Each structure stands twice: as structure tokens, then as C-alpha cells.
Amino acid sequence: MGEDVPPQAARVYASDLPKGLGEAELWQVFGNYGDIVSIEQVNDSGSEAVFVGYKELEAAKEACKILNYASMRGVMCRCLMADRLVVIRRTMNTGQRLIFEQLDPAIDSCGLSDLCSLFGEVLDCKVEVEEEPGSCGFGFVHFSTEDEAAKAKLFLSGVQLGSSAAEIRPFELADIVLFTGCRYAPPPTRLHARNSDPGASDWEDEAQPAQGTPEDMERSIWQQFQSLEYHYMEVLEDLESKLERLRDLIQLYEPSQERQIVVVAQPANVQPVAGVLCGSLAACDYDSLQSSTSAEDRRTVLEGYETGNLYVVTMSSEVCTRREFDLGRPASVLINFDCPPSLPYHLQRIYKRTGSGTRVHNFFSPTVDSKLAIPLLKALEEAGHDIPPELLELWSRMDQKG
């Protein structure tokens, strides 16, 4: 038997578990490493998660060592010591957490963590995946110190990782909506306990949510989406249809100093969008921002927009929510020429680029964006926004096939 330890110190937090794990399976899986005091269920932003309390600290450490990035029913889970969560929540926005984008689809959480551990201690790491197994192409790494994170960013930015050159930037609190299972929230309820200490489920006061927490940011992002007076999804099948609709909107809104427009498009579509703007506006009235835009040109565009001298700015999708590309004020009209790959990305883009009075147009392609249809429908309905009949029809067809 090991020495007595405080209940909190001998607890582990397991997230990204496969859906539907029952009581018996949980006890069986985690019981392989020592005597369990309690298992507590956590609702962590769309991810199955539990807190597991062990009688002995060594058992908790062994469970983390074996189960972190282990596969359960084909799903890669994460397993951390519970006392680490307090540190992670406190240091999310201090430079210790980095966002990795444009990741090779073959890179998973374990591989990214192993790579980044060359630069320091990794407290947590995750590559976000879709429900059907497959990388979303982005992830985060949370280091134990800012210096370690800075070193990793210095050496890995632009380096070829597999088939892609990863882009790395500091985490912003608005990024929290991009990831499931990463709120690190205290356990709300006791699910199962055997011979447990009455105080075993108490969470330290310092871990309780406070102002500026991930929960606060998530609420703010949703409230911003909900507060929009005009948010419209337009179902357009192909590129030519999108370009024609963009041309109509430019003519409709007549962009000016008082009515500035931001267009967000995939990198491959920035040039076709520029072609439409070229035919509708004077060359001095519009410009674009992409990852290849130099720092000097970026400053020129941002200053032009903020002073009202640029009426339309086209932003490539990979930079549209980055802090260094902040426009200084919300657009009067936001046109999502290409839908983002997921609902969280959509909500984040709305949060970063709009105010409550912004008019938002989203070009939805049934072929390219079909996976977004059902999440969008649910979000639009909950927020009280209009749902186009074409989107309802698409959902109906998908439901019949399913």
C-alpha cells in the first residue's frame, strides 16, 4: 500500500473517450492500475470525460502514463493528472499554448506531443478530429513555460511536417470553441463512488471558473452570433454562382467609408474574388490580406481599413481570425464567400469580424459544405436566425439517406 495522499492529488482526468462507455467498462479500464475511490462524469464541451480518483498516487500516475493517447474503441483519448488542470486553465492565454494549423492529416495528438516534447514539458496536446476519424488539420500544444513555447514556435514555424508546412501562432481565448474536451472544467456531479471520502469530489477553489475563463469566452462567442440582426445562409452550388452573387452584393451595398465590407475566401478563391472587385470598384478602394502578405503590406491594409480609405478587404480564410490581422473595427457587411470547415470556426469568425449591426452573408455549397448542414441548422434555429428552404431540403435528403 502507498502512503496516504490528498484525494485531489490521486485523481486523473480522462477526456475524448468513446461515446457510450458504461459504468462497468469505466471501472474495468481504469481499475487495471489500482484501487478506485470514485468515478465522476464531466460534460466537457461535446467530449465524453471522467475524473477518476485512486486510493494511491502511484496508481493515478500509472493510469496517465498508459492511457494518455491510448486508443479506446478506435478513439484516441487523453489522460492527465487532475491537479495539472488548474495550471492549464490559468496559463491558457499567457503564451504557453500554441495553435498549430495546416497540419498534415497523418499527424495525430500523440505524434504532435512527441515532437513538441523536444522543446520542453508538454502539459497537454490535441489534434482536433472529426466524428468520422480524420484530422481537422489543426491542434494545440500547451507547454509548461512560455520560454519552451517560444522555442518550439521559433524552430517549428514553417518547417515541413509530413506533407505540410505547419503554421504556428499563440493561442487566443476565442480559439477555445475550436476544440472539444478542452475546458478542463471541475466535475459537476458524482457518477459512481465506492468507499469514497466525502470530500473526494471537492474541487479546489482556485480551479473554479472566474471572469475571463473559457466558459466566459464560449458564452460571449455564442451571444455575439445570437445578437446578429441579419445572418443569412445562401445556398450556391458552384464558384461562378458565388462570384455572381458577390457582384450583386457589391452593387447592392455600395461600399464606402461608412459601409465597409469584409470578404473571407479560401486562398484559392482570393484571386477570383479580386477579379469581381476589380470590375466593380476603383483599385484604391479594395485590397486583400493573405498569409503571404508582408508585414509592411499588412500594416498598410489594416491602416487603410481602420481609417476608412479601404472600402473592401478580402481575407484568406487561414488569416481571418488571427490577432495580427485584426481590422480594428467590425465590418458593416461580412461575406463568407467560402464557409469555414466547422461550426466552431464559423462562430469564431463571426465573433472576430462582426458587431451586432453587421449584416452577414454566407455562401453555402451543398457539395463542399454538406457536413456543415446539420450543425448549422441547429445553431441557426437555436439563435433564431432565418433558415433558407434550400438548407432544409438538403437536410431532409441527408436524413433520408441516413
Q: What angle do CA 341, 343, 347 make, to 5 degrees?
A: 115
Q: What is the pLDDT of residue 193?
A: 46
Cα–Cα distance, 82 to 64 (Å, whole number): 10
Give the pairing type, strands 47-54 and 11-17: antiparallel
pLDDT digits (tens, 9 = 90+) for 200-236: 334 343 443 344 677 788 889 999 999 998 999 999 9
Report which secondary-structure segment, H or E, holds 360: strand 359-364
What is the rounded average pLDDT for all residues in the chain? 86
pLDDT digits (tens, 9 = 90+) for 119-150: 999 999 999 987 665 778 899 999 999 999 99
Beta bridge partners of 164: 161
Mean pLDDT of 302-320: 94
Residue 131 CB contacts under 8 Å (≥ 6 apart), including other chains: none
Cα–Cα distance, 384 to 244 (Å, whole number): 28
Give me the architecture of the 215-400 domain, per CATH: 3-Layer(aba) Sandwich (3.40)
What is the pTM (predicted TM-score) of this model? 0.76
pLDDT digits (tens, 9 = 90+) for 294-303: 999 999 999 9
pLDDT digits (tens, 9 = 90+) for 42-92: 766 667 888 999 999 999 999 999 999 999 888 899 999 998 988 998 898
pLDDT at 293 over 80: yes
Give the pairing type, strands 286-289 and 312-316: parallel
Q: What is the pLDDT of residue 204?
A: 41
Higher-confidence position of 192 and 91:
91
3-state helix, strand, coil in the chain (%, to 5): 40, 25, 35
Residue 296 CB contacts under 8 Å (≥ 6 apart), including other chains: none
CATH topology of domain 1-82: Alpha-Beta Plaits (3.30.70)
The least confident of 48-62, 178-192, 278-292, 339-353 is: 178-192
% of the chain surpassing 90 pLDDT: 56
pLDDT band at 258 (very low <50, low <70, confident <90, very high): very high
pLDDT at 188 over 50: no
pLDDT at 164 over 90: no
Phi-psi map region of 79: left, alpha, beta (phi>0 left; psi -120 to 50 alpha): beta
Cα–Cα distance, 101 to 93 (Å, whole number): 18
CATH topology of domain 92-182: Alpha-Beta Plaits (3.30.70)
Closest CA to 161 of 130, 128, 137, 186: 137
Beta bridge partners of 286: 312
Cα–Cα distance, 54 to 34 (Å, whole number): 7
Q: What is the pLDDT of residue 224?
A: 92
Q: What is the pLDDT of residue 400?
A: 58
What grid cell was written down for 263?
Answer: 470578404
**Domain 92-182 in the same topology as domain 1-82:** yes
Report which secondary-structure segment, H or E, holds 306: helix 295-306
**Residue ranges of domains in the chain:** 1-82, 92-182, 215-400
Phi-psi map region of 396: left, alpha, beta (phi>0 left; psi -120 to 50 alpha): alpha
Mean pLDDT of 332-339: 96
Map residue 18 onto helix, strand or coil: coil
Which strands make up the sheet holding 135-143, listed edge to edge? Answer: 122-129, 135-143, 97-101, 167-170
Q: What is the pLDDT of residue 208?
A: 38
